[in-house]
Structure 1
Amino acid sequence: MKKVWKKLAAAGMAAALGATALTGCSGGGSTNEQPAESGAETTKEPIEITFWHVYSENFGAPVIKEMVEEFNNTHDDIKVKEVYNPDMYPGLMQNLQAEVAAGNPPSICMIGYNYIKYFAANFNYISPQDLVDQYVPEDKDYLSTTFLDNVLSLAQVDGEQIGLPYCISAPILCYNPDLFEQAGLDPEKGPESWAEVQEYAKQITEKTGEYGFYMQEYADNWAVQGLLESNGASMLQDDKAAFATPEGVEAYQILADMVLKDKSALHITADEGIQAFCNGKVGIACISSAKIGTVTQAAQFDVKGAAFPGFEGKEKKLPTGGNFLPITAQTEEEQKAAWEFIKFVMQPEWLAKWTENTGYLPPRQEVKEEEGLKAYIEENQMLKVAFDEMEDLQPWAAYPGDMGTQAEQLLADTRDKILDGSQTPEEALKEAQDTLNKMLEEQ
């Protein structure tokens, strides 16, 4: 099989030229042989590769640095440089556009599942199986023996493997049992339905004066997707947006009523909302399982967890958060080096450490049987909740072509219009759906 290469689209190139580029982040591999003095053997420099990620010093980066250091210490022929990209996936995508336009792409990058179609249409990469078939035939069965089919599919577009799934997160509830007690609620039982979430939130606010609920708000639609689709709406159906249905409006109205009518829920950024929860100012928070470590370490109380709520008589459909790792290296030597590093970080011991430190679920099923992680899951009630939700996980809606970043921003803007009261859920969802479907027709 030949390499899979995609061309940076004209629209992506225009955006790239206007984006702020990272400096000093060369992804180019190096096989330079240093000139030897007469009679001496030539020496071969190690291949240098860059690994772009989105994790800061207070979330994930220490483990990444530890992995990179251990890899570099055990591989004389390859040197990895980790590069942090602020603003999570949108920030990395902007930087990637800029560096590709400058002819300076990374070797491996961390792409959110919601950007997979946009990435596949606009950037150069080599499919993992193609790389193995060409350069590492001894690994020909690595993908099929390491990952379950449904997990591999998270990093596929139309059946083509774009990269390897790495981080997997599920939306969960965490709650403050102290506020539950003060409000007259059972501190050992979280809400199970969205009707109960609204009821509990209102009671917490009325009895304690604190906010009852917060749903994380990043520059994406991840958490809201779980709310709408669990009530029967669909972010994408047969390549069309289909969320402005009575079911979608009904689900969004619950969140809007808590913010605007009951005054029991907050509408602020994710960092602010999670901090408010940790400070005891919010009773229930809907967050990513990837924030379990952050919340349990920062909270001033014993945090408890509960499954993402559902709607009576309807199937839960939870979006899979997280990211996959495509190889964007351009030379054979750099691609092979990138493959070696990816296999290294996919080892069960490193995936277990990553899960313990972040709350992300591992892409390899057997990792949860690692002795240390197994005990950790039993001790960490919130993480056990997240593992139990894996059977309800669905793909994170990814919009095709050049509209990936535009779609996420449009949906984030729609959320703001609904939660600040400038538009009703019915008005805002219909407007967003019509806009997205027009964009989809133009693809």
Structure 2
Amino acid sequence: MRKTVKFMFLFLTVLSLAILTACTNSDSSTKGGGNEGDDTKGEATKTEDGKVSIEFWHAMSGTGQTSLDEIVANFNESQEQYEVKAEFQGTYEESLTKLRSVGGTKDAPAITQVFEIGTKYMIDSGYIEPIQKFIDKNDFNADELEQNILNYYKVDDELYSMPFNSSTPVMIYNKDAFKEAGLDPEKAPETFSEVIDAAAKLKKGEMYGFSMLTYGWFFEQLLATQGGDYVNENNGRTGDATEAAFNSDEGRLVFETLNTMNKAGTFGNFGTNWDDIRAAFASEKVAMYLDSSAGVAGAIDTAPFEVGVAYIPYADEVKRNGVVIGGASLWMSKGIAEEEQEAAWEFMQYLTTPEVQAKWHLDTGYFAINPKAYEEENVKEKWAEFPQYKVTVDQLQDTVPGYATQGALISVFPESRQQIVTALEDMYQGKDPVEALKQASEGTNRAIEVANKTKK
């Protein structure tokens, strides 16, 4: 495990430096800028029958890719002007690396799917045309979309990309184990202290009470729901962040809560692999764990017991703030032909329709970016059968808007997340939680400092 973590840290460090290098090769002085005075290039690519043909680079695999391919095919059949070609590019990191070689030129894909922590980089890259330009030009009513999803991708009230596959974390738990432990199966623990107490009661034989994937995203969420910022400058939303802010009372509470359960033997450490922690839950090796809302369907399908879904826990001393959006959004390329941009915009609008979003939600478990999708009959029927799905949406819509839940903007997020992973692993091996978190903060500060110097 330690070798894997060190390799990942090296990989993400190299990736972050590569991204920073890319920033120096573009005009990052203007948001969404780059390639001054050269908004579009060349003529549009067309099919034999005259349709404008565009490429859509994505990182969806499995059921996500299957659903996406069907959606693209339906769009292509729905009109006669445009043809979208969906092309799988590997992981988010691999896709972004490929984009760097063609970004801002006529050879760039019209649409690229980029994970949420790539938002700051994409804005500064010079590769993109802000979606706000097309919203304003076409009087598109973005207010119809889910506001707590839009909030992440808005910077200075401008929407730079179109949200697509959006998710948040949830608490998933074994209702049968709750009953056996004398706990109410219809009421999951809500606060950190309640999680600690419940984990102790649920620990039985080889079953741990609680677990959390060793992944920075979950730390960010447990920080945000307390109202804690990840970096300064209001989470990088009112200026470029210059240092980490997570080495705070809120951040220490998260580490100390996990450390308390780990020392008590009620916390199960299943590492960094999503499949491993999900398999542990299905095989009754852990009774409660944090997962993505997109993982709910899989948990219900594979578990041989009744599955419960609840909001993520928060500190006893504060009010619940809510969750930060994860997943990815779709970015419009700058430098391609105007007709190709128009084709991309038509496809993006198609993706936001209630019917398409209902399909996407039911196929994948991701949120519908258009809440009207939840009024579709097929969604109502699914929710009636599996009310766990509705819990994920309720948590999102109950989120209190603010800088904490809007999410942080930093260009070196991958490296910072790896700092958190290393800190958690060190803590589970016996390192003082306060010292471990401090180390992650210092590592993040160094990465931010390099990024800001390079940008200048």
Same fold, TM-score > 0.5, yes or no: yes
- Cα deviation, 1:225-282, whole Å, max 9, x if unaligned, reads 1222334542123233211123321221211332344253223122210122123222
Taking the aligned partners of 1:94 and 1:214, their CA distance within structure 2 comes to 33
1:67 aligns with 2:66: no
Show structure 1 runs of 5+ residues with no match.
1-7, 16-27, 35-42
Among all aligned residue pairs of Structure 1 and Structure 2, give the percentage whose two residues are the same amino acid: 29
- Please say if residues 169 and 361 of structure 1, whose CA atoms lie closer than 8 Å, have aligned partners that are also in contact: yes
Taking the aligned partners of 2:206 and 2:247, their CA distance within structure 1 comes to 34
1:407 aligns with 2:416: yes
Amino acid at match of 2:351: V
Higher relative contact order (CA 8 A, sep 6+): 2
SS of 2:128's equivalent? coil
Taking the aligned partners of 2:207 and 2:148, their CA distance within structure 1 comes to 41
Show structure 2 runs of 5+ residues with no match.
1-17, 26-40, 234-240
SS of 1:361's equivalent? coil
Taking the aligned partners of 1:286 and 1:158, their CA distance within structure 2 comes to 32
Change (3 A) 1:33 1:167: closer
Moved more, 240-249 or 345-354: 240-249
Taking the aligned partners of 1:185 and 1:102, their CA distance within structure 2 comes to 59
Change (3 A) 1:257 1:97: farther
Change (3 A) 1:420 1:342: farther
Moved more, 260-269 or 362-371: 260-269
Match of 2:393 in 1: 387
Change (3 A) 1:327 1:32: closer
How many residues align? The count is: 404
Match of 2:366 in 1: 360
Taking the aligned partners of 1:91 and 1:369, their CA distance within structure 2 comes to 36
- TM-score, structure 2 as length reference: 0.79
Moved more, 260-269 or 276-285: 260-269
- Please point out which of 369, 373, 381 is paired with 1:375: 381
Taking the aligned partners of 1:47 and 1:55, their CA distance within structure 2 comes to 24
Match of 1:222 in 2: 217
Report how far residue 11 of structure 1 moved. 0.7
- Cα deviation, 1:140-162, whole Å, max 9, x if unaligned, reads x2144533655433222333321
How well do the aligned residues superpose, as a CA RMSD in angstroms?
3.0
Change (3 A) 1:233 1:56: same
Match of 1:18 in 2: none
Q: Following superposition of structure 1 onto structure 2, how do residues 289-438 of structure 1 map, counting pairs within 5 Å?
A: 289-317=293-321, 318-328=323-333, 330-390=336-396, 391-392=398-399, 394-400=405-411, 403-421=412-430, 423-438=431-446
Moved more, 281-290 or 404-413: 404-413
Match of 2:10 in 1: none
- Cα deviation, 1:39-61, whole Å, max 9, x if unaligned, reads xxxx653222222222211x322
- Please point out which of 209, 220, 228 is paired with 2:206: 209
Change (3 A) 1:131 1:384: closer
Change (3 A) 1:51 1:293: farther
Change (3 A) 1:92 1:293: farther
- Cα deviation, 1:7-35, whole Å, max 9, x if unaligned, reads x97612799xxxxxxxxxxxx9974679x
Match of 1:22 in 2: none
- Please point out which of 229, 232, 235 is paired with 1:237: 232
- TM-score, structure 1 as length reference: 0.82
Taking the aligned partners of 1:303 and 1:14, their CA distance within structure 2 comes to 49
Taking the aligned partners of 1:147 and 1:314, their CA distance within structure 2 comes to 29
